[in-house]
Chain A
C-alpha cells in the first residue's frame, strides 16, 4: 500500500515536472491525497499561466508537496487537510486555502538563504512552506496558545529552525531585520511602518486582505533598490470584470 502510494506520488510529480519529491513521503499515510492536491493546484496554475503567463514556481510546488498540511490542522479536520479549502484552527483563526498559500509564497520569491519574517503564525503551515525555501524564517503570533502550538508542530515536523515568538507583530523583529521577504497574515487595518522599515531594498512583502475564510485580494509591497515603496494589488484569481471585450 505504502509502496503504491509512493509510486502514485512519484508518477504525479513526474507528470507535473515537480522534481525532488522523495520516497521519504511514502511512509506518510496522507501522501496520496497530498499528491492529488498538488496535482490539482498545478493544473489550476497551468490554466492561469495559459491565460496570463504567470505561474507558480517549481520550488513552491515542491514545498507544497512536502509540507504535511494534515499536521497543521486540528485532529478533527485531519481528513480534510488535503482538500483545497480553508479550515478552522481554533481561536477564530483559519488555515488558508492551499492554492492561496502557494500563490502568496510564490509572490514572495524566496531564495535559499533569504531572511523571511511572518506576522501571524496561525497554524504554522505558511512558516513551514517558507522553511522549505530558506533556512532563516522568523514568525510572530499575537495569540499566545496558538504560538506555542505552532512552535511545537513546526519542531515535530522537522522545521525546528523556524523561530517562533508570541508577541505584537506591529514592531516586526528588529533583532533579525532587515528581511528579504515579509508576509503579514494577521488582520490589520494598515501596514505597520516598522515592517516597511525592516524590509530590505529589493525586498517583497505580501499582505492578504479579507476576513476569515475569505482572502479577498493580495497586496504586494515592493521596495526598490533606492528604498522607494511600490505596491500592487492582486486578485488571487484570473477574473476580468467585463464580459465580451476581453
Chain B
C-alpha cells in the first residue's frame, strides 16, 4: 500500500491550523480558559480514533483507501459545521456555578468539536496501521504538515477575519481528501472532483463570514445595547480581535478609579475592545491639556508628582491613555511600548485626528514590541517606567487570567525594570483593588524580593503604595524616598482622598482613612511582607500571593485549595467572586480528560477479541504514555522558556512551535536508519534538556542585546537538536510494534494521543506548582522510563497533537494580555 504522505501532511496542517483557529474563535465568543478546556477535550477525538480503529481494525484496513478519503473529506466539512452548530449552544461560562444546565451545554460543545478531530485522527491512525513500512515517513509528514499548518494559520489570521480563515481550513481538509484519492490510486476522476470541491464548497457554504459574535455578557455586547453605540471597525490578527466602538449619545467617560474629588467630565472617547472584552479608551485630544485634568486624579498620576519633566517609558501603551497622562504632566520624552501593531495603527493612523496625533508627536516614540523584551534590550535609563493597567476589572476580579503566563510582573521582570531606572527614577505599577487584597499584595511582595535580590538592605525605604477606591499604585524608587518625597506622596493622596498604605515612616493610624476597609488589610499586608515573618504571612494568607517568577510566571493565579471550601460555603452570601476560576477550570479539564482517556484506553482491551499481543500491554502503555507526557512537557516548557528570548510573543508560536514540529518531523524521518532501541536519542534529549536548563538563564541574559534578526536563528538552532531527537522515539516504537504486534498499533496510537492531551493540561498545572524547570526534569524522567519500556526491539515521539493545547493557548493569551 503506498503511504498517503502528502495527504497526511495536509490533514495535519489543517488540524493544527484548526486548533489555533478555534482557540482564536472561542476566545472571542467566550473567555480564554473555557476555550482552552473545550479544545483540549475535543482533541481527545484523536484518542477515540485510536480506540475505534483498534476495535474495527480489520474491516477498516480492508477498505483503507476509501475510508481514508471519506474521513479526510468529513474532517473538512465537520470543521466548519461543528463550529457553526457550537455557536448556537447557549453556554454561559459565568453561570457555570449557578446553573445545572451549563455543564450539559459544555458537554455538548465538547461532543460537537470532537467530531472533526475524530475524523482527522482516523486518517492518521489508519495510515499507521495500513502502511507499516512507512511509519517514520508518515510521522514525519504528520509533524512537517503541522509545522506548515502553524505558519499558515498565523498568516491567515493576519489576512482574513477568523471565520473566513475557517473556510480555508475546510478547503485544506478536502484538499487532503483529493490528495489521498490520488496517492491511494482511487482514480484521477475522484481526485479531480474532490479538488474541485475543495476549491469551491467551503467558500460557497451558507454560513456567516467575518467575526463570530461574542457572548452576551462580554463588555462589547453589553455596550452595543446602549442607544447610538455602533461598531466603527474591526481589526483581526493572531493577537486578538480589536473592535472600535463609538457611543455618541452616552459617552464612555472611561477613567478607572477616578478620585471622587474630581470635577468635570473626560473628553469624548472611542472604545477599543480586545476580543469583545478588555476595554481601552481612545481619548480625543485637541492639544488642550486642560481637558485632560482628570488624568491627574487617578492613582497612576502619583509618580509625576515626584519627578520633574521625566523621560518616561510606558509599558502596554494600548490606545494611549498613559501616554496622554505623561504628556499632560510635562514629560520631557515618552517612549511607548505596545505589543499589538494594529492597536498602534488605530491611534497613529486611522484615528490620528481624533487622538490629536499623540503617537506622532516628536516627543513620543512608539515601539511595537513585547514589554519585557524591550526593556531587556534597551540601553536607555528612564526617570519613570509606567506599567499600564490593561486587563479589565471584571475579568481580573473573576480570575479569568489566572492561568495566563505573564512575564510582566515576575521578580526578574521587576529587577529588569529597576536596572533601567536613573538614580532617583521610579517604577510605577497600577493594579485593580481586589478585596481582600490579592494583586496589590502579590505585587508588593514581588517588589520586596526584587529589591532584595538587587542587594537592597531596606526595601521598605524604596516603596510606596497608594490606594484609591478602585485602583492601587505601587512605586519603587531607585534610591530611598526622602522625607520630602513622602510628604508629597501624602499630599497627593490626601488631595484625592486616596489612602497612603505604605511609604517610609508611615504609621498605621495614617492609613485606611479615606476609603475605609473593615481592616487595614493593605497596610498590614505591606508591613508583614517587609518583615521577617514574610514567608509565614504568605503561607497563612488565604490566597496565593507568593511572588511570581520567570519559572512560575502565574501572577494572576491566586487560587488556594484550602480556601475553596470556605468560599463555596459563602456562595449564598455573595462569596463566589472570591473564587478564582482559572485554576479550578484547569483541574476540571484535567479530571475530565483523565476520565475520558481511561475509558478510551481500557475500552479496546475489554471489547477487543485479539489474543494477548507479543509485546506485554503494560510495556506498550508505559512507552507510549511516557512519550505522550514527556513530549508535551518539554515542548510546552521550552516554548515558555524560549519565548523570553524572542522579541514578540507571536514568534514564540510561529518560530518555537513551528521549529519544534519541523525538526521533530525531520528526526522522525531520520530515525528510519536507526537500529535497536531508543537509548541514543533519549540520552541526547536528557543531555540537551539538562544543559539548556543550566545554561538558559545565562543565555537569555547574554542574548537580549542581540539584534532580532539573530535571535530567531539562535532560538531555532537551540530547538533543532532537541526536537530532532524527540521526533525519533514515537515512530521507532510504532515501527517495532508494527512488526511484533501489529494489532496493538492503533491502541498505542490512542494512548499517545490521549496522554498528549492530558500532558498539555498537566504541564500548566505542574508549572504552577513546580515551575517550568520542574516540568522539564519530570519530562526527562519520563523519557528515561520510555527508553526502558521500549516495546521489545525498536525505537520513538508523539503525534501532531504535540502542537496542541498550550501553543494555541498562547496565541490567544497574547491577544488578551497585550503586554
Residue pair A233, B469 in contact (C-beta under 8 Å)? yes
A231 with B514, Cβ < 8 A, contacts A86-B98, A209-B393 known? yes
At the interface, yes or no: B205 with Cβ under 8 Å from chain A?
Answer: no
At the interface, yes or no: B2 with Cβ under 8 Å from chain A?
Answer: no
Which of A99, A188, A245 lies in contact with B574, CB distance below 8 A?
A99
Residues of A within 8 A of B515 (CB): 219, 231-233
At the interface, yes or no: B352 with Cβ under 8 Å from chain A?
Answer: no
Which of A40, A168, A217, A245 lies in contact with B540, CB distance below 8 A?
A245
- Nearest-neighbour CB distance to chain B for A135, whole angstroms, equals 29
Nearest-CB residue, chain A, relative to B222: A92
Residues of B within 8 A of A97 (CB): 572, 574
Q: How far is B394's CA from A217's CA once the two chains are assembled, in angstroms?
A: 11
Residue pair B397, A216 in contact (C-beta under 8 Å)? yes
A190 with B98, Cβ < 8 A, contacts A233-B469, A239-B566 known? no
Which of A142, A213, A232 lies in contact with B95, CB distance below 8 A?
A213
At the interface, yes or no: B578 with Cβ under 8 Å from chain A?
Answer: yes
Which residues B420-472 have CB closer than 8 A to chain A?
Answer: 433-437, 469-470
Nearest-CB residue, chain B, relative to A171: B265
Which of A85, A103, A216 lies in contact with B98, CB distance below 8 A?
A85
Residues of A within 8 A of B92 (CB): 88
At the interface, yes or no: A11 with Cβ under 8 Å from chain B?
Answer: no
- Nearest-neighbour CB distance to chain B for A206, whole angstroms, equals 13
A231 with B98, Cβ < 8 A, contacts A216-B397, A242-B541, A242-B542 known? no
B250-282 near A? 1/0 per residue, CB < 8 Å? 110111111011111100000000000000000
Residues of B within 8 A of A152 (CB): none
Which residues A201-246 have CB closer than 8 A to chain B?
Answer: 209-217, 219, 221, 229-245
Nearest-CB residue, chain B, relative to A168: B250
Residue pair B394, A193 in contact (C-beta under 8 Å)? no
Residue pair A190, B543 in contact (C-beta under 8 Å)? no
Residue pair A213, B98 in contact (C-beta under 8 Å)? yes
Residue pair B436, A239 in contact (C-beta under 8 Å)? yes
Residue pair A237, B574 in contact (C-beta under 8 Å)? yes
Q: How far is B393's CA from A84's CA once the two chains are assembled, in angstroms?
A: 25
Which of B98, B253, B497, B562 lies in contact with A189, CB distance below 8 A?
B253
Which of B250, B470, B497, B570 lies in contact with A237, CB distance below 8 A?
B570
Which residues B260-313 have CB closer than 8 A to chain A?
Answer: 260-265
Residue pair B574, A100 in contact (C-beta under 8 Å)? yes
Nearest-CB residue, chain B, relative to A47: B573
Residues of A within 8 A of B63 (CB): none
At the interface, yes or no: B608 with Cβ under 8 Å from chain A?
Answer: no
At the interface, yes or no: B713 with Cβ under 8 Å from chain A?
Answer: no
A214 with B264, Cβ < 8 A, contacts A231-B514, A239-B436, A242-B542 known? no
Residues of B within 8 A of A209 (CB): 393, 397, 470
Residue pair B253, A241 in contact (C-beta under 8 Å)? no
Which of B216, B253, B260, B521 lies in contact with A196, CB distance below 8 A?
B260
At the interface, yes or no: A170 with Cβ under 8 Å from chain B?
Answer: yes
Residues of A within 8 A of B98 (CB): 85-86, 213
At the interface, yes or no: A75 with Cβ under 8 Å from chain B?
Answer: no
At the interface, yes or no: B535 with Cβ under 8 Å from chain A?
Answer: no
Nearest-CB residue, chain A, relative to B569: A237
- Nearest-neighbour CB distance to chain B for A186, whole angstroms, equals 10
At the interface, yes or no: A91 with Cβ under 8 Å from chain B?
Answer: yes
Residues of A within 8 A of B257 (CB): 189-190
B547-590 near A? 1/0 per residue, CB < 8 Å? 00000000000000010001000101111111000000000000
Which of A144, A189, A190 lies in contact with B227, CB distance below 8 A?
A144
Residue pair A236, B394 in contact (C-beta under 8 Å)? no
At the interface, yes or no: A27 with Cβ under 8 Å from chain B?
Answer: no
At the interface, yes or no: A114 with Cβ under 8 Å from chain B?
Answer: no
Residues of A within 8 A of B578 (CB): 237, 239
Interface size class of B (residues with CB under 8 A): 35 or more
At the interface, yes or no: A191 with Cβ under 8 Å from chain B?
Answer: yes
Which residues B186-230 have CB closer than 8 A to chain A?
Answer: 216-219, 221-222, 225-227
At the interface, yes or no: B398 with Cβ under 8 Å from chain A?
Answer: yes
Which of B219, B226, B397 lies in contact with A214, CB distance below 8 A?
B397
Residue pair B394, A210 in contact (C-beta under 8 Å)? yes
Q: How far is B396's CA from A214's CA once the two chains are assembled, in angstroms?
A: 12
Residues of A within 8 A of B573 (CB): 44, 48, 99, 236-238
- Nearest-neighbour CB distance to chain B for A240, whole angstroms, equals 8
Residues of A within 8 A of B227 (CB): 142-144
Residues of A within 8 A of B537 (CB): 242
Nearest-CB residue, chain B, relative to A190: B258
A241 with B521, Cβ < 8 A, contacts A88-B95, A209-B393 known? yes
A110-132 near B? 1/0 per residue, CB < 8 Å? 00000000000000000000000
Which of B261, B395, B433, B576 lies in contact with A233, CB distance below 8 A?
B433
Residue pair A193, B222 in contact (C-beta under 8 Å)? no
Which residues A49-91 have CB closer than 8 A to chain B?
Answer: 84-86, 88, 91
Residues of B within 8 A of A86 (CB): 98
Q: How far is B250's CA from A187's CA once the two chains are assembled, in angstroms?
A: 13
Q: How far is B573's CA from A41's CA once the two chains are assembled, in angstroms?
A: 8
Residue pair A214, B258 in contact (C-beta under 8 Å)? no
Residues of B within 8 A of A188 (CB): 253
Q: How far is B470's CA from A244's CA once the two chains are assembled, in angstroms?
A: 29
Q: How far is B259's CA from A191's CA once the two chains are assembled, in angstroms?
A: 8
Residue pair B398, A214 in contact (C-beta under 8 Å)? yes
Residue pair A99, B435 in contact (C-beta under 8 Å)? no
Residue pair B397, A92 in contact (C-beta under 8 Å)? no
Residue pair B435, A217 in contact (C-beta under 8 Å)? yes
Residues of B within 8 A of A190 (CB): 253, 255-258, 262, 470
Nearest-CB residue, chain A, relative to B566: A239
Which of A40, A92, A214 lies in contact with B572, CB distance below 8 A?
A40
Which residues A137-191 have CB closer than 8 A to chain B?
Answer: 142-144, 168, 170, 187-191
Residue pair A214, B577 in contact (C-beta under 8 Å)? yes
Residue pair A170, B516 in contact (C-beta under 8 Å)? no
At the interface, yes or no: B518 with Cβ under 8 Å from chain A?
Answer: yes
Residues of A within 8 A of B226 (CB): 142-143
- Nearest-neighbour CB distance to chain A for B735, whole angstroms, equals 53
Residues of A within 8 A of B602 (CB): none
B485-521 near A? 1/0 per residue, CB < 8 Å? 0000000000001000000000000000011111101
Q: How far is B269's CA from A189's CA once the two chains are assembled, in angstroms?
A: 13
- Nearest-neighbour CB distance to chain B for A145, whole angstroms, equals 8
- Nearest-neighbour CB distance to chain B for A210, whole angstroms, equals 6
Q: How far is B605's CA from A194's CA once the two chains are assembled, in angstroms?
A: 72
Residues of A within 8 A of B575 (CB): 236-237, 239
Q: How far is B573's CA from A170's CA once the two chains are assembled, in angstroms?
A: 30
At the interface, yes or no: A134 with Cβ under 8 Å from chain B?
Answer: no
Q: How far is B567's CA from A236's CA once the two chains are assembled, in angstroms?
A: 12
At the interface, yes or no: A21 with Cβ under 8 Å from chain B?
Answer: no
Residue pair A44, B572 in contact (C-beta under 8 Å)? yes
Q: How far is B226's CA from A88's CA once the two chains are assembled, in angstroms?
A: 17
Which of B217, B470, B518, B542 lies in contact with A212, CB distance below 8 A?
B217
At the interface, yes or no: B249 with Cβ under 8 Å from chain A?
Answer: yes
Residues of A within 8 A of B514 (CB): 230-231
Residues of B within 8 A of A213 (CB): 94-95, 98, 217
Residue pair A236, B574 in contact (C-beta under 8 Å)? yes
Nearest-CB residue, chain B, relative to A220: B516
Residues of B within 8 A of A211 (CB): 94, 217, 392-395, 397-398
- Nearest-neighbour CB distance to chain B for A124, whole angstroms, equals 17
- Nearest-neighbour CB distance to chain A for B540, whole angstroms, equals 5
Given contacts A191-B258, A209-B397, A237-B570, 12 further A-B contacts (CB under 8 A): A92-B225, A97-B572, A187-B222, A193-B264, A193-B265, A214-B577, A221-B260, A229-B260, A231-B260, A236-B575, A239-B542, A240-B542
6 contacts between A and B (CB under 8 A): A41-B572, A88-B95, A93-B222, A217-B433, A229-B260, A231-B260
- B: residues with CB less than 8 A from A are 92, 94-95, 98, 216-219, 221-222, 225-227, 249-251, 253-258, 260-265, 392-395, 397-398, 433-437, 469-470, 497, 514-519, 521, 537, 540-543, 562, 566, 570, 572-578
Nearest 5 CB-CB pairs, A to B? Answer: A211-B394, A236-B574, A190-B258, A241-B436, A92-B222
